[in-house]
Amino acid sequence: MEALVTGATGLLGNNLVRRLLQQGHRVRVLVRGTTAGEPLAGLGVVSIAGDLDDQPALERAIGGAEVVFHVAGFVRIGWSDLPEARRVNVEGSRRVAQLVRRHQGRLVHVSSVITLAVARRVTRAEVVTPVCGQVPSAYVISKREADAAVRAALPARLRVQARARLPLRAGAAGRPGADDEHVAARGQHRCRGFGDHRAAILGTGPGSWRGA
């Protein structure tokens, strides 16, 4: 399988790249600048320089990829930087989803548990539970809007929602720890059976949060 991973130098993306390579897949990554790919040095991935604003770089990266794992995101907890969070998380995700559809590939969009409602002591939060009870920080707002942008870019018949529990432990320099054989790719494993669907919205967090 030919796979593209965005956000490949981060903790989740780095683990995912290594797992895909271990499984024998061909991996390309979208990285910013010449030094941004240092955590991936020596892994045998194809690096494409660019970011989520760079339409030509995205075209090169996504064209020919059978599956795109969109892991990249802007993470900052607080009230500031909403325009930047929207630029990366919302508009970047929208571009990726639109290009995946145009190239007829498959997409795994990594979302977040904060896009769902908070459970109460006696009430369980489900996918259809109205979203409430979370501080509307720039990250929360932008990740919720990113989910909506991906859904809008892909017809319902092409989407499937997946769930995952991804216990992440970092080793040296953010690389996988010695016991991380199961890390990151558990989510990819659950999304392996797309059927006729072309996209999975994958949630990560302390618990499984979306049922296919």
Q: At what angle do helices 138-153 and 92-102 cross, to 10 degrees?
A: 20
- Rounding to the nearest 10 degrees, give the CA dihedral for residues 113, 55, 61, 17: -30
* pLDDT reported for residue 177: 38
**Measured distance between the N- and C-terminal CA atoms of the chain, rounded to whole angstroms:** 23
Q: Where are the beta strands (DSSP E) in the chain?
A: 2-6, 26-31, 46-49, 67-70, 106-110, 159-162, 199-202
**In the structure encoding, which two tokens stand for residue 6, read together?**
């965005």
Q: What's the mean pLDDT when you consider all of the chain?
A: 75
Q: What is the pTM of this model?
A: 0.76
> Radius of gyration (Cα) for the chain, nearest Å?
16
- 28-49 pLDDT, tens digit per residue, is 999 987 556 678 888 999 999 9
* pLDDT reported for residue 209: 26
User: What DSSP string runs through 122-177?
Assistant: S----TTSPP-SS---HHHHHHHHHHHHHHHHS-GGGEEEE-------B-GGGPBP
